[in-house]
Amino acid sequence: MNIPVIVIYLASALIIPAAAYFIMKARPKPYFVGCGTFFVFALVLESAINAAMGMLFPKALENIWFYAVYGGLMAGVFEEVGRFIAFSTLLKKDLDNDRTALSYGAGHGGMEAFMVLTSVVLNIFIASTVTGEEYREAIDMYMSIGFSDALIAVVERLFAVAVHISLSVVVFFGAKKKKPAFLFLAIALHAVFDGAVVLINNFFGIIWAEVATAIMAAMLACFCYTLWKGAHERADIR
């Protein structure tokens, strides 16, 4: 078992959510609402539907094009609808402060980073104890994770947090201005982002997938900064 790799994953799982909190100067309430919303809508509800799909239509999910489109849409619908519901209910009284969007996004993305990175560590421990040829592929995959793989995973999570903060800004203004079109835009952006990364990773490899992730994350951040700045400029004019 590669102890340095495990340390990198565990340390990053703790540092990334904390860093997101402090860098975004997050407010506690929306930050933890973001954490909880991701857990409920992504890890519970979306995972349940995905598990059912896996049992009912296993062959369909083996098709990379279907998997990319389906996976992207599922993530987009569940996570963005979850954001919209959170902003419209639990955080309704916090919509007057635009930093709520950044705080929520830091929590949502931070929780995802924590769960993704710690799940890899858990799977490494499981792979180190499980035996049997039927599990050989999974065992070999997790036991072969190296230092460079860990660093790539950490960088990927950083980009993912940036994406979640950006998408939170889009949905936040949709809830604040009562414009559902912003929600549908966020769903589309999320679906395209996730689907594109899956396809690029499959056809060109993990390095190109990370390059594409960085480019798309930067483009999305620029778009959301423009949206944020425009909203504040209009408020100043009024």
pLDDT tens column, 168-184: 999 999 999 999 999 99
Give a yes or no: residue 234 inside a domain. no
Question: Residue-wise over 117-129: b if at least 16 C-beta within 10 A, else e?
Answer: beebbebbeebee
Q: Is residue 238 part of a domain?
A: no
pLDDT tens for 132-171 read 776 677 777 878 888 888 899 999 999 999 999 999 999 9
Q: Assign 232 a pLDDT band (cuts: 50, 70, 90).
A: low
Mean pLDDT computed over 16-42: 96
Which domain, by its residues, includes 91?
3-227
In a domain, 236, yes or no: no
Q: Say how many domains are in the chain.
A: 1
Amino acid (one-letter) located at 121: V
CA dihedral 128, 134, 136, 137 (to 10 degrees): -120
Rounded Cα–Cα distance for residues 2 and 226 (Å): 44
- pLDDT reported for residue 141: 80
In a domain, 235, yes or no: no
Tell me if 118 is assigned to some domain. Answer: yes
Gap between the Cα atoms of 190 and 180, Å rounded: 16
Task: Please indicate, yes or no, if residue 232 is contained in any of the structural domains.
Answer: no
69 within a domain of the structure (yes/no): yes
Supply 198's token pair: 């899956």
Is the model's pLDDT at 15 over the cut of 70?
yes
Res 235 pLDDT > 70 = no
| Full-model pTM | 0.91
Contact 82, 38 (CB under 8 A): yes
Answer whether residue 51 is part of any domain.
yes
Give per-residue pLDDT as tens, 82-103.
999 999 999 999 999 999 999 9
